[in-house]
Structure 1
Amino acid sequence: MSEIVYVMTNQAMPGIIKIGRTNDIELRIRSLDSTSLPLPFECHYAARVESAIEIERILHTLFAEQRIRPNREFFRLSPEKVVTALRLTAHQDVTPRIGVFEDAEEQRAVTETRVRRDRINLRAINVPVGAELVFSRDIDIKCTVINETQVEYQGTVTSLSRSALNILHAQGYSVSSVSGSVFWMYEGETLDERRQRIESEQFEITA
């Protein structure tokens, strides 16, 4: 019997993801919503597979060094790293095409938090003007850095998030907002990973 292996994120826990399995992805998202977290979980990617227990075990082993606690399914890891691994397996993409939120207020809170988090300064993370960024879901999709906050994609100057959203819509997703820094990559790491690494290195220097 097939099950779903999922990658979930929560805007209240930047840089941390959850890797697990379920029979019903929307029910699982709602069951994880609790008063202990101010924002609901979002499904970044969901794959229906024939051997969910085995694939989940492989993913947990593959990313063991990034696991926060041995008895929990949380990892300090870019969600796109797990998506890359899942895309190597035989699976059906069953990621919910729209957000699973109880009401409009939840959607607004998540979107506002994402927008604040996604205000990334490319110069501050050592990505120069003229640099070529690669889209994590398709390495043939690229854009060029124009300034500290904008890129040129298909001849249009736009933001990281808007370009990523347009690409995902073209791929069939109906999400209303995304963090472009999670999808665009430079020198082998997503921009979000790069920001977290540089911030961590700066903290270690000043500590």
Structure 2
Amino acid sequence: MSKGVIYILTNPSFPAYVKIGYASDLQRRLRELNRSEALPYAFRAYATYDVDHRLTDKALHELIDQLNPDLRAIETFNGQKRTKEFFEMAPEEAYAILDAIARISGTEDRLHLVTPTGEQIEEEREALDAREASRRPPFRFSMVGIGPGEKIAFTGDPSVTATVVDDRRVEYDGVTTSLSALARRLLGRVSQVQGPLHFTYRGERLSDRRDRMEGGAERH
């Protein structure tokens, strides 16, 4: 008997979809999915359901297709129709289906909702800010009343500070760079990040400061 889990995965890169599949080793599956540097953010487990048979996830896919065939991600590539494990639904909706199955079958103890880590919560917020930022002008220090020579602190370690050089750049460790590039360096990431999310000025996160000041300007 091959035991494993049906998983519900989310990714901040495409918040409208969830990935539902089977894995005998979920952590190994996550490592496989997250190996590509083309993904801005990593897949993370939202929930799991313990199963005894490898093909159980296919039955779940068929059930979802019966409920709403338009939820499944399907594409045609080189003339071939490819059906994906992605479904256009909120993770809460996918979880509700597993929860109903668990309650009907009396296997509630097999269903597990995964608590996100602090880093995952931060990435969710970062992805949301990135989507909002795409509809707003790029961040400039003058937007938030910060001039050259002022100090900003890294949220991950407030003792790490950078000096504002001009409206878009900062100096750190003798190197002049953009806010986002410095955030990537300090976070140890290769994917794009939203710099204002990772620095504070006088104890206030730059992204929050921008929201506050732009919100105040809109009210006047």
TM bracket, shorter-chain basis: 0.3 to 0.5
Please report the TM-score for the alignment, with normalisation by the length of structure 2: 0.44
Please report the TM-score for the alignment, with normalisation by the length of structure 1: 0.47
